[in-house]
Amino acid sequence: MAGGKLSARQKMINLMYLVFIAMLALNMSKEVLSAFGLLEEEITASNEVTSIQNDAFMADLAIKATDEPQTYASLYEKAKEINTLSNNLDNYIDEIKIGMMKTVKPNQQDNFEVQDKPDFLDTKFFQGDKLSKDGLLFQSNMLAYRDGIINILGDDYPLISQKVNNQFGMKEESPRGKKVKVNAVKFHFEGFPMIASKTKLSQIQSNIKTVQNEILSTMMGGKQTALLSVNTSNYSTLLETPKSAYYSGEKFDGSIVLGRVDDQTKPSRVELSLDGKALVEGKDYTFEGGRVKLNVNAGNPGDHTLEGNLIFKQDGQETEVPVNRSFSTIAKPNAAVIAADTMNVVYRGVDNPMTISIPGIPDNKVTGSAAGLSKGSKKGKYIMRPGKGREVTIIASGTLPDGVRINTPAKFRIKDIPRPTGTIRGEDGDGGPVRMNREGLEISSVGAKLLDFDFDLKLNVTAFSFKVAGQPTVKVSGNKLNAQAKSALKRAKRGETVQIFDINAKISGNSSYKLPRITPVFVELAN
């Protein structure tokens, strides 16, 4: 630059130019910062969904490991190790993000434009040109996660192992336009605005949860393939039922399962007994392919138990497969059968479907009578609408083919509909608050549902109260926040829990029934 002193006017012009350039840069920066903030919110919301899916996967796998330990126990142990590694790294990153946001004023948590300083991570991760203690810890935790996952996978899933190594290997990177490579922590976090770094951290959490989901899904898929890899002609479908006899009109609740029936699955020997009496091969049972064909008398009326073991020889050792099945022998009917289709009680305020029948007597010759009982549209079907009192007696009447008249009473307890649970967006919080964004709460519907209730009743919310700490309670008509409630919500802080209580609701189609007091629902604000 040429020497010489600048005039006061020229200095002013130069200063104004610099201010103008700075303003342009600031405007661009605000747009970028806002974009990062919106992206971070989307990633966080997606992470919550993936976490729910992973939790459901682990719960299902735990059941399989209990029911089929030989097939799924080892897989479940690996899944638990993966889950522990993933949760540890995810929680560690969460702690960094929490510390980051503590530097932002509470009323500016949603203002991404003020989150433009790199100071937090620059101070935390770096000491001069080198990584600080915390920077080395971050790098170490990423590498430990990579090594732990790859060790669990072994040589079975090379593509996933490569993906894990690429995402968590902390490889040196070259800044754009430069050939020299720098440490991965410096490349990704040094000098970046806070909101950009927070977004990167959320993306790492997304990678953790996605990798976890992919690994477990692939493992399970491989297990299923291995189980079914044999020629399907070796398999047959079997019908399992919790009981061996059903009455007309009763719900059939059997299950179809897959069973292997080829000659290779023939047991080397069996140890079976019927009601404690040992069965004899050739007399009481024979082998047919992979089946043990029974040939026994049904016996006297009542329940009968078949138990014992099928013994298979594998690698010179015997393996026992336990048998514990039962069947019933039914005598000539001499009494009515009265059963509630859903439960052993009837509920006030709902239509309780009932089946009334007498084995051996046509349905059109069977009648049921009781206060509140009416005939249904199908044979043997009734509707019970109990009134006052704590129990009701139903009388079933009919005539057997031999002319004997049967009058059988049965008592049923009368219960009121249980206390409904308040919901927001269909969620009750499962004993805790429902975590959701402020914007989502503004448009979500307040509802009520009956947990663990056998009847599918639709409850319509007509009013509720809304409470933000430190602000007056707002009375709301309908099932969504009104303008006054939304105004109170805007003044609530991030992480604060708001209350929705005094929920009023009516049963659809039966508005005259007075429901018990509905439990409140609590909402933790995520932003």
Concatenate the DSSP letters of all residues of 409-477 into one string: EEEEEEEPPPPPEEEETTB--TTSPEEE-HHHHHHPPEEEE-TT-SS---EEEEEEEEE-TTS--EEEE
30 and 168 co-located in one domain = yes
pLDDT at 413 over 60: yes
Q: End of a domain among 329, 354, 380?
A: 329
In a domain, 194, yes or no: yes
267 and 321 co-located in one domain = yes
Confidence of residue 313 (pLDDT cuts 50, 70, 90): low
408 and 460 co-located in one domain = no
Per-residue pLDDT, 334 = 56
Task: Judge contact between 489 and 438, C-beta under 8 A.
Answer: yes
In a domain, 121, yes or no: yes
Per-residue pLDDT, 377 = 86
Whole-angstrom Cα distance, residue 187 to residue 388? Answer: 75
Give the CA count within 13 Å in the CB-facing half-sphere of 351.
12
22 and 151 co-located in one domain = yes
Confidence of residue 239 (pLDDT cuts 50, 70, 90): low
Round the CA-based radius of gyration of the chain to a whole number and report it.
35
Q: In this predicted model, which residue has the larger pLDDT, 365 or 523? A: 523
Per-residue pLDDT, 29 = 60
Per-residue pLDDT, 228 = 46
* Total domains in the fold of the chain: 4
Among 218-222, 321-325, 417-421, which stretch is predicted with the lowest mean pLDDT?
218-222
Confidence of residue 258 (pLDDT cuts 50, 70, 90): low
**Residues near 265 by Cβ (< 8 Å), separated by ≥ 6?**
290, 312
Which contiguous run of DSSP H or E holds residue 502? strand 497-507
- Mean per-residue pLDDT for 207-217? 88
- Mean per-residue pLDDT for 293-298? 79
In a domain, 9, yes or no: no
Q: What percent of the chain has pLDDT over 70?
A: 79
Residue-wise pLDDT tens digits, 96-106:
999 988 988 88
Average pLDDT, the chain: 81
In a domain, 10, yes or no: no
Q: End of a domain among 276, 303, 329?
A: 329
**Residues near 57 by Cβ (< 8 Å), separated by ≥ 6?**
79, 213, 216, 217, 220
Q: In this predicted model, which residue has the larger pLDDT, 263 or 287? A: 287
Q: Nearest Cα to 124, choosing from 194, 32, 195?
A: 194
Whole-angstrom Cα distance, residue 527 to residue 521? Answer: 18
Backbone dihedral region for residue 154 (phi beyond 0: left; psi -120 to 50: alpha; all else: beta): left
pLDDT at 499 over 70: yes
Q: In this predicted model, which residue has the larger pLDDT, 42 or 329? A: 42
Per-residue pLDDT, 294 = 82
**Residue 386 belongs to domain with CATH number:** 2.60.40.10
Per-residue pLDDT, 146 = 93
Q: In this predicted model, which residue has the larger pLDDT, 324 or 508? A: 508
249 and 160 co-located in one domain = no
Strands 317-329 and 337-340: unpaired
What angle separates helix 8-67 from helix 194-227, to the nearest 10 degrees? 20
Q: Please return the burial class of 357, using the count of CB atoms within 10 Å of its CB with bins 0-12, 13-18 and 19+.
A: buried
Most confident of 126-130, 450-454, 465-469: 465-469
Helix (H, G, I), strand (E, B) or coil at 207: helix
Q: Which domain holds residue 380?
A: 337-415
pLDDT at 21 over 60: no
223 and 325 co-located in one domain = no
266 and 396 co-located in one domain = no
- Mean per-residue pLDDT for 26-31? 56
120 and 151 co-located in one domain = yes
129 and 50 co-located in one domain = yes
119 and 211 co-located in one domain = yes
Per-residue pLDDT, 84 = 93
**Residue 281 belongs to domain with CATH number:** 2.60.40
In a domain, 4, yes or no: no
107 and 209 co-located in one domain = yes
Confidence of residue 229 (pLDDT cuts 50, 70, 90): very low
Among 196-200, 250-254, 275-279, which stretch is predicted with the lowest mean pLDDT?
250-254
pLDDT at 7 over 50: no
Q: End of a domain among 227, 242, 257?
A: 227
Q: In this predicted model, which residue has the larger pLDDT, 370 or 330? A: 370
In a domain, 461, yes or no: yes
Q: E-strand spans in 275-372? A: 277-278, 285-288, 291-294, 302-314, 317-329, 337-340, 345-347, 352-357, 367-369
201 and 116 co-located in one domain = yes
